[in-house]
Structure 1
Amino acid sequence: MTAKTATADAREAAAQDASARYPEYDFSRPAQLGRESIRHLEAAFESFARLWSSQLTAKIRVRTHLSLDRVEVVTYEEYAESLPATTALVAGAFDDREEPCIVQFALDSALLWVVQMMGGRTSALPEARTFTPIELALVRHLMEGTFEHLHASLAAVLPGAPRFAAVHYNPQYMQVVSASAAVIVARYAMRLGETETRATVMLPASAVVDRLAATAPDAAPAHEPSHTLAQVHGAPLELTLRLEPMTIGAGEVLDLAPGDLLRLPHPETLPFELVAGATTVARATPGVRGSRLTCRITTTLEDTH
């Protein structure tokens, strides 16, 4: 009983140690990006944060700083549920693609930008509300530059340059992709003067993953027909020099003994068959070079090439 208890305790401890070292795998949301890809995206999103911070500081005349919290792959439904019920969602469209990218930030932060751009001097966040037509025009002008910075930072993985498409306010009603579609989300902490707020950038994974894999250091080179031809030319083949076959009965084979002679049906003047695998590719005559047996190709069978 003591030995059994000790074995059970050891197994339980090993299971707990494995659980601590290896996180549970969620099969409903399989990971699509490796560590190298995540690091590549983090570097690109940090570059975008620096450009966006500089743009906001210059345009609204309030010192702005953005720091990247994390980059993650989630479903669009999970992304939408993580946002406030009312917020600014600026969609950027790509040519020849239906899925947009999204730059999201708080409405009160955007209204502070507008106040500053119109000459106001306040660091307090206004009450959050939707934009008026004039405010929307100012925000659009600002976001057009933001999308340029986004493209400059992530041009290698984006399907093209995003352009301003629309502003939405409710993430639950903004169904730009299917709820179960995978999206790449960068989450930022934003500081406007002494005020802290949040911002996110969402990219459709379907538009990014293939390009991201192609830019990885260990990415396979693009396939070309010459690669296949080179692979075929380098494939090893076993060559056999074969005489004309003969047919005998099974009983004769069983009666064979050392010293028996078999009359081969191959004429002395007929070349042998040179066989690659199971395919006859040429005819050849036997010969000798030094201490090695050789064969001289007499004809090739063009219909096998």
Structure 2
Amino acid sequence: MTAVVRDDPLRRYPAYDFRRPAQLGREHARHLEAAFETFARQWASHLTAKVRMRTHLVPRGVEVVSYQEYADTLPATTAMVAGSTADREEPCVMQIGLDDALMWVVQMLGGRTAAPIEPRPLTPIESALILQLMQEGFALLSTCLGSLLPGPVTYSGLHYTPQYLQVISPGEAVIVARFDLRVGESRSTTTVMLPTAVVVDQLAETDRGAAAAPRRGRAADHVQRTPLDVTLRVTPRVIAAGEVLDLAPGDLLRFAHPETTPLEFVVGTTPVARAVAGAQGSRLACTITAIPEETRR
């Protein structure tokens, strides 16, 4: 006897966790990954020139998580350089380890780091050097992400404790890109955090523009293929109703249209050009002689 296996929808479809933010679509995720790969190459080259040590930055992936989940993966104390775009309050964050930041300062000032540096808050001079470096990083990020952001990202603050970054709520969805950072012999992880609301709005705008382009092309194609009635018209003449009632076959009506004056080329009821009458073989034809400037507009 064969056992009957019943289809269980609960096994076919995994439960959706409403506490977690929605994920990005496949095409959107690829778009972001490509932009962050470009950023990694350019930022690594820029750091190599500034820090004067060979720098490698390798993307590890892009994910959508809540800010609390993101903060839980970071050290208790780290350098979080926050930036913002025009007309948006949500922050963008470039995060680096404090030991990396201090090593960069030593290298930029001409020193050498033979031993690991103990992480600590930056002094005002160290902060100024790091912030200048990170502002250049924001400029590269803005260029690489392009239309994924509503505008350039500019510096707005430096924070040391992810759990107390007050500019964003713990449950808000954020896009996190993680990178493996290698400077000389030092290896660490750095991250870039973007507010999901800002990026998704820009992706939706891009999708609408991409969808609208074919529609505009189809609309233009339909307009160009629409049949229209065209007429050659002489200067009109006003006659009385009695003359019209008295018309009979063979009557001749004279129009005050000089022989040398072009005719009006009319589409529907709108004059669009001037033309002279002619012939093409055995068929009547006209030659366009002028198109008024207002018609071109």
Q: How does 1:49-60 map to 2 (within 5 A)?
A: 49-60=40-51
TM-score (norm. length: structure 1): 0.66
Shift of the alpha carbon at 1:11?
Answer: 5.7
Aligned to 1:182: 173
Q: Which residue matches 1:71? A: 62
Describe the shift of the 1:197–1:210 C-alpha distance in structure 2 as closer, same or farther (beyond 3 A): same
Offset, 1:29: 2.4
How much does 1:139 deviate? 0.3
Q: Which residue of 2 is the match for residue 40 of structure 1?
A: 31
Residue 23 and residue 113 in structure 1: after superposition, are their counterparts in 2 closer, same or farther (change >3 A)?
Answer: farther
Provide the C-alpha distance between the structure 1 equivalents of 2:62 and 2:40, rounded to a whole number of angstroms.
13
Match of 2:87 among 87, 90, 96: 96
C-alpha deviation, 1:161, in angstroms: 0.6
Deviation of 1:107 after TM superposition, in Å, equals 0.5
CA–CA distance in 1 between the matches of 2:37 and 2:170? 27
Would you say the 8 A contact 2:21–2:64 is kept in 1?
no
Equivalent position to 2:97, from 79, 91, 106: 106
Instruction: Among all aligned residue pairs of Structure 1 and Structure 2, give the percentage whose two residues are the same amino acid.
Output: 56
**Residue 202 of structure 1 corresponds to which residue in structure 2?**
193
**Separation in 1, partners of 2:178, 2:26:** 18
User: How is 1:1-305 mapped onto 2 (pairs within 5 angstroms)?
Assistant: 2-3=1-2, 6-8=3-5, 18=12, 24-122=15-113, 124-216=115-207, 219-221=210-212
User: Structure 1: how far apart are the matches of 2:46 and 2:16?
Assistant: 40
The unaligned stretches of length 5 or more in structure 1 are 231-305
Cα separation, 2, equivalents of 1:23 and 1:199: 32
| Residue pair 2:21, 2:173 contacting (<8 A) in 1 also | no
Letter of the 1:146 partner, please give it: G
Q: Give the drift of 1:155.
A: 1.5
Q: Distance in 2 between matches of 1:162 and 1:128?
A: 27
Task: State how many pairs are aligned.
Answer: 220
Q: How far off its partner does 1:124 sit?
A: 3.6
Q: Does the 8 A contact of 1:36 with 1:216 survive in 2? A: no
Q: Deviations over 1:188-225 (max 9, x none)?
A: 1111112210000001111111212333599422899x
Q: Which moved more, 1:39-48 or 1:119-128?
A: 119-128
State the 4+ residue runs in structure 1 displaced beyond 6 angstroms: none
Residues 227-255 of structure 1 show CA distances to partners (whole Å, capped at 9, x for unaligned) of 8xx9xxxxxxxxxxxxxxxxxxxxxxxxx
CA distance in 2, matches of 1:82, 1:138: 26
Deviations 1:253-278 (Å, cap 9, x if unpaired)? xxxxxxxxxxxxxxxxxxxxxxxxxx
**Structure 1, residues 86-112: CA drift from partner, whole Å, max 9, x if none?**
100000122211111000011001100
Distance 1:33 1:122, change over 3 A: same
Unaligned runs of 5+ in 2: 223-297
Cα distance in 2 for residues equivalent to 1:120 and 1:166: 27
Shift in alpha-carbon separation, 1:32–1:218, aligned structure 2, 3 A: farther
Q: 1:27, CA displacement in angstroms?
A: 2.7
Contact 1:94/1:159, CA 8 A, preserved across alignment: yes
**2:249 corresponds to which residue?**
none
Contact kept in structure 1, 2:82 and 2:94, CA below 8 Å: yes
User: Which TM-score applies when normalising by structure 2?
Assistant: 0.67
Q: 1:103 to 1:30 in 2, by over 3 A?
A: closer
Q: Measure the CA separation in 1 of the matches of 2:88 and 2:131.
A: 21
Structure 1, residues 105-159: CA drift from partner, whole Å, max 9, x if none? Answer: 1100110000000111225431000000110010011111101100110121111
